Structure 1
Amino acid sequence: MVEQDALRERLRRIMLEEDAWLGDALSAQDALKRPVHGPNLIAFTVKAEKLARLVKRLVREEGFRILSAVMEDERDRLGHVVLTVIVWQESSAYPIALAILLDGAHPTYPAITPHVPMMNWYEREHRDLFGVEPLGHPQPYALILHASAPDGVYPLSRDAVQESVLPRVPGDVTTDGFVQYEGGEVSVVPVGPIHAGIIEPGHFLFGTVGEPVVHLDVRLFYTHRGIEKMAEGLPLLDGLKIAERTCGVCTYSHGLAYSLALETLASVELPERAVVLRTILAELERMMNHIGDIGNMCAGFGYHRGVADGARLKERLLRLNERLFKHRYLRGVVRPGGLNDDLDAAGKADMEATLRAVEDDFAGLMERISKHEIAQDRLRTTGMLGAEIARDLCVVGPAARASGVPYDVRLVRPYLAYTRRDVAELLKNWHGQTVRSEGDAYARMMVRAAEVEQSLAIVRCLLKKLPDGTVHVPLPKLPAHTVGFTTIESPRGELAVWVRLDAQERLRRLKIRSATYHNWPAVPYAVAGNIIADFPLINKSFELCYACCDR
């Protein structure tokens, strides 16, 4: 509590200096004045016209980073639309929630993006889905609603109908936001959104002079599924099913983050066996993804043996998941309060034997890549992303660590068994290999390779001391209109989940910010200056997910 009180007082002082403090001016009947946020969040309500300047100061001068931004239509309850920006400062255990109350009829506020560019996607998404206008935004174009949608229809507003299909307004998909080239020197090369392979849709518009790319525009969100709208009003266990289906290959991470967000509100202590097994499963998912990602990168430079080896080793881990936990991608294993499945002695032996075999084969794969002249030539100095851009855009996961940004939620805000001294030491001991400075495709591959070995070490450490006991405890009744928020380190990086309950202990708002959402905007910076033929390799080196954005 001492740290929390000190941080709260520091933020209050900064807000007073910026004339952003609104807490004392709130009416007693305003629900936001009540302690409706979970115990791991420090919440403030600030003046809407001062939010941009406040966030700029916290990010640029005070060393904070942005974890997420959540828009909520609270007009039926408060008469306002509410924007909450969640920030965090290194060495602190507590994220800060900065909320502004916007006029219910005409919700506008001064845009944050001109001061903190990484807010670009958040503010454009809120404009599309809620009708909230960020005044002065440098790119006031649609992010999600590409086709002409009817005016005044906002899919995430409280009165929008879940099952409705938006009627299309006649007209072409706009090219707003794409760079327009003058003169004849630059060739424009469109790729997508429909691709030759069986992949999700994305539109890439290259501006090239000969082979080198001078600029890349990216347009995504062609298959937005409305997951967050679908979650409204669901019982909590049904909401878990929605969270797990946000991403196909990070299913477990999304279910875990959702469960942890609810557990922050419950004030219950989970069984130690459940805590340890949850951590083991998180590392198994990390290994499976990283090994598969390295195989996919091999496709980017035509190394078919590497593609096959990566797919074969990933399949071995998927089959292990199915044998032990009944689902290849670990769907349905985690739940609020613990786990649905336990690990018996035979399963533990199976896991240990499988991991030994995978470790040996994976070492051979990485040795072959290290000696492959074409692989080394194509990987090194390709798709370089500098540390400054990575920090400014709040890039997360292996992509950030490959550019010298040592941000890992397991270390900076530890959870589950990552709080244990032996596991924390393993994370720190591997720091020199899981954080690199080159920022190229090679560094992103090698960070993943090191993290595979790190995950193996963590799993073995935890299996040696697997405690006895149960793997689940029931959650008590959770308080109405309360917010639970958590972040975890998914295979692709930091994953943030915000959950607000209603009065019937159902979901009122679910906001999922996957790692990919912070990493996609960095790709054009990494592509510029490379030849167009290297784009598939660069793209694969970030291993981004379309579905995580199309939630």
Structure 2
Amino acid sequence: QKVVVTLITGLDGENPSYKALTPLIPAAEWLERELHDLFGIEAEGVDLKPLVLHRGWPKAHPYVMHKDVAKDTPIELTDTDHEFGFTSPASAHQVAVGPIHAGIIEPGHLRFCVTGERIHHFDAQLFYTHKGIEKMAEGKTIYEGLTLAEHVCGLCAFSHSLAYSQAVESLCQITPSERTQAIRRLLLEMERLANHFADLTAICSAGGFGFASARAAYFRESIMQLNKHLTGHRFLRDFNTLGGLKSDLQAVTLDIAFETLDKLKSPYRQWVEMLYNKDSFLDRVEGAGLLGKQQALDLGIVGPSARGSGVVEDLRHDYPQGMGQPNYPTFSVPSQTDGDVRARMQVRIDEVYESLMLIRQTLSTMAQDGVDPAAPTKPLKPNPETPGIGLVESAKGGLLHWLVLEASAPVPTINRWHVRSASYMNWRGMAAATMGNNIVPDGPLVNKSFNLCYACSDR
């Protein structure tokens, strides 16, 4: 049985601390280190080396998430290099990648410690472009917060929008119409398709299969163009709203979507067959980047990265909040047990088929349903006593929005907001999979088999 548990404890205002959860739940380590960086709350029993804050931050810095610290408070930084602190053999040397990369991705410093070609240790320094969205949101209306949620990340814009909306709707006791839920489900799967094709593009490129990579990129572009046709935005922004949608999808638009996706199935199936007929590519992906099931569970890995290691969890199946339950179409949760690059790739391959099936079922149902999906016009009155929680299975995995609102204003405003993205949870899993029986050329391939988002972490 899947449940959501909220733990509440009192803290000393002068020296806030509590007994750390990390020894019991290793997945909590990053969260507790971030809590110390931004709030000054100490988790006793954890190495609280800086995570979000880089080494240039002064030791006596203000805790930026405190209410009495202004959003524009200046911080004087020092020019201090980041030390990864690897414990390594004398014969080892370090390979630095980033923080500025050759592509268009956000900055992140990846550091390999290698002996010969073997990767002895690996770690990453993120948060170079932390946006401070949670601090920025304080005092803003719930509608302004929705705009911020859509800009946590481009790849998962709709997933973040949906999770934020669910949190507000749960606080305001709003149940969106069935058609709203169906259209949201449709767009969530469209976003999943676009991301899975992007991930498969990256895996094929890193594995040296250029033609397959170009073909997968074509599939993704087909989805992005269809997104634009459906909603007016390739990344599905500015279509969802609190309690509903900003516009309906017309029958002729749905027919085009049905036809476009139907034509995609056959060439996609041929593409998959091509992958498994390329021995040199299979030699790269099989056995590389191993992540065991217990490792994945301990680190709290989510999404295809977890399901590739035999952790069969999916929020659409386990916790379909606000997604049309009990009318959510039946679907399978693909999984693999090998825990290597091929397994994570295969999970995405199978999930494309499941998403196409879910979209087909949703479109068939929607053709018979003409209920206006518009948002409610009555004033939204949240319950100020409890936090709102939104849970969504994005393409990268389960993400969470936790929200506390102020009900006194004419339009509710944001008191506290926390965003926990799937990529944030999966970085430690990627690091663990990179170490072990891998050589340096495997590093990019393992990386792309997770294909994590810097922007989601740098929220």
Q: Judge which range, 108-117 or 299-308, deviates more.
A: 108-117
> Which of the numbers 345, 353, 364 marks the counterpart of 1:464?
364
Q: Could you tell me how far 1:364 is from its partner in structure 2?
A: 2.3
* Partner secondary structure for residue 6 of structure 2: strand
In structure 1, which of residues 119, 129, 141 is the aligned counterpart of residue 28 of structure 2? 119
**Which AA in structure 2 matches 1:132?**
I
Q: Is the 8 A contact 2:165 2:390 kept in 1?
A: no
Q: Is the 8 A contact 1:188 1:206 kept in 2?
A: yes
Partners of 1:120 and 1:221 lie apart in 2 by 16
State the match for 1:485 in structure 2.
389
| Amino acid in structure 2 at the alignment position of 1:401 | R
Shift in Å at residue 112 of structure 1?
2.2
Residue 217 of structure 1: CA displacement? Answer: 1.8
Contact 1:108–1:134, Cα closer than 8 Å, also in 2: yes
Determine helix, strand or coil for the equivalent of 2:359: helix
Contact 1:278 1:416 in 2 (8 A): no
Q: Which one of the candidate residues 264, 270, 277 is aligned to 1:358?
A: 264
Q: Once structures 1 and 2 are overlaid, which stretch shifts more, 260-269 or 313-322?
A: 260-269
Kindly indicate whether the alpha-carbon contact (under 8 Å) linking 2:176 and 2:244 is maintained by their aligned counterparts in 1.
Answer: yes
How far residue 195 of structure 1 moved from its aligned partner, in angstroms, is 2.2
Residue identity matched to 1:281:
L
Q: CA deviation at 1:281?
A: 0.8
Q: Which residue of 2 aligns with 1:455?
A: 355
Stretches of structure 1 that go unaligned for 5 or more consecutive residues are 1-90
Give per-residue Cα distances to partners, 1:24-78, cap 9 Å, x unaligned.
xxxxxxxxxxxxxxxxxxxxxxxxxxxxxxxxxxxxxxxxxxxxxxxxxxxxxxx
The structural deviation recorded for 1:418 is 5.7
Structure number with greater CO (CA < 8 Å, separation at least 6) is: 2
Secondary structure of the equivalent of 1:437?
A: coil
- Verify the 8 A CA contact 1:279 1:416 in the aligned structure 2: no
Measured in 2, the distance between the counterparts of 1:414 and 1:140 equals 35
Q: How many pairs were matched up?
A: 450
Q: Say whether 1:324 aligns with 2:233.
A: no
Letter aligned with residue 125 of structure 2: R
Partner of 2:88: 181
**Is residue 511 of structure 1 aligned with residue 406 of structure 2?**
no
Give 1:421 deviation, angstroms: 5.2
5 Å matches for 1:308-457? 308-417=214-323, 419-420=325-326, 423=329, 425=330, 427=331, 430-431=332-333, 434-457=334-357
- Normalising by structure 1, what TM-score? 0.79
The whole-number CA distance in structure 1 between the counterparts of 2:328 and 2:54 is 49
**Equivalents in 2 of 1:293, 1:339: separation in Å?**
29
Aligned to 2:445: 537
Asked if the contact 1:481–1:501 (Cα under 8 Å) also holds between the matched residues in 2, the reply is no
Q: Is the 8 A contact 1:178 1:217 kept in 2?
A: no
- Rounded Cα–Cα distance in structure 1 between residues aligned with 2:324 and 2:318: 10
SS of 1:327's partner is coil
Q: Is the 8 A contact 1:411 1:418 kept in 2?
A: no
Match of 1:146 in 2: 54
Q: Which segments of 5 or more consecutive residues in structure 2 lack a partner in the other structure?
A: none
Matched, 1:196 2:105: no
In the alignment, which of 79, 87, 107 is matched to residue 16 of structure 2?
107
Aligned residue number for residue 76 of structure 2: 167
Q: Equivalents in 1 of 2:359, 2:266: separation in Å?
A: 16
Question: Are the equivalent residues in 1 in contact too, given 2:199–2:448 (CA < 8 A)?
Answer: yes
Matched letter for residue 118 of structure 1? A
1:421 & 1:153 partners in 2: Cα distance?
A: 49
- Deviation of residue 341 (structure 1)? 2.0
Residues 207-254 of structure 1: per-residue CA shift (max 9 Å, x gap): 212111121122111111101100110111100000110011110000
Contact 2:245 2:375 in 1 (8 A): no
| Match in the other structure for 1:65 | none
Task: Name the CA distance, whole Å, in 2 between partners of 1:389 and 1:417.
Answer: 31
| Matched position secondary structure for 1:362 | helix
Q: Distance in 1 between matches of 2:145 and 2:54?
A: 28
1:276/1:416 contact within 8 Å kept: no
1:227 corresponds to which residue?
Answer: 133
Quote the Cα distance in structure 2 between the aligned partners of 1:546 and 1:117: 22
Instruction: Assess, with a 3 A threshold, how the Cα gap between structure 1 residues 462 and 163 changes in structure 2: closer, same or farther.
Output: same
For 1:293, the equivalent position in structure 2 comes to 199
SS at match of 1:516: helix
**Cα distance, 1:479 vs structure 2:** 2.9
